[in-house]
Amino acid sequence: MRVDSVPEATLRRLPSYYHYLLRLREKGQEATSAAQIGAALGVHHTQVRKDLAVTGSQGRPKVGHRVDDLIASIEEFLNWNNVSDAFLVGAGHLGTALLGYAGFERAGVRIVAAFDASPRRAGRKVQGVPVLPVEKLPDLARRMHIAIGILTVPADEAQAVAEMMVGAGIQAIWNFAPIVLDLPEAVIVEDVALYSSLGVLSRKLAVRRKAASGKGSAGTGP
């Protein structure tokens, strides 16, 4: 099945299944079922079964799925078994935190270099990854055939940096900047909406606190 024919919601659920399966393997469990995965993650077992089917993994009656086989199927489907080199632009607090995260290679991405416009940041290493002047990115990206760019710059710099990435042959951008990028349709852009997620969290917390406050005062009177 072509990946572009798979619903995006399925693509977003598969990593959750994957990490749950890793936990099962760590516990020594050899087999699982759509029902068990669904119950653990709050997804209906029918949906889990449909999602897993796109990976080509076929469960067996009364046995279910072998955990190792299912992990391998998801890795292959998401292309996580082929590690791609990536460049990161913006070695500030967020960029530095991403450089320090060791789990990206399991998800098929290796950050091999970072770039920054600040002379104060360029010229050092973060977690063993060199931070270079941003003007060096185009030539290095072409020479190294880099396909993935990670954008952790301020919003007012993001469009220009993204255009530089695309001009250097980068085909996919993981965008952490709070801005909608205007790029050719052929470029794959995945926005990480930190502020949107935080807004939802803050609003839900405010509603819960308001409800709790209302309950606390409901029994009081003059």
pLDDT tens, 128-187?
999 999 999 999 999 999 999 999 999 999 999 999 999 999 999 999 999 999 999 999
Shared domain for 96 and 162, answered yes or no, is yes
Range of the domain at 14: 3-77
Same domain, 58 and 88: no
pLDDT of residue 2: 46
Q: Would residue 102 count as lying in a domain?
A: yes
Q: Is 205 among the domain residues?
A: no
Determine whether 19 is exposed, middle or buried from the number of CB atoms within 10 Å of its CB (0-12, 13-18, 19+). Answer: middle
3-state secondary structure of 64: strand
Q: Give the CATH number of the domain where residue 51 resides.
A: 1.10.10.10
| pLDDT tens, position by position, 23-71 | 999 999 999 999 999 999 999 999 999 999 999 988 787 778 999 999 9
CA distances to 49, 159, 204, 216 from 183, rounded to whole Å, are 36, 8, 34, 52
**Distance (Å, whole) CA 165 – CA 160:** 9
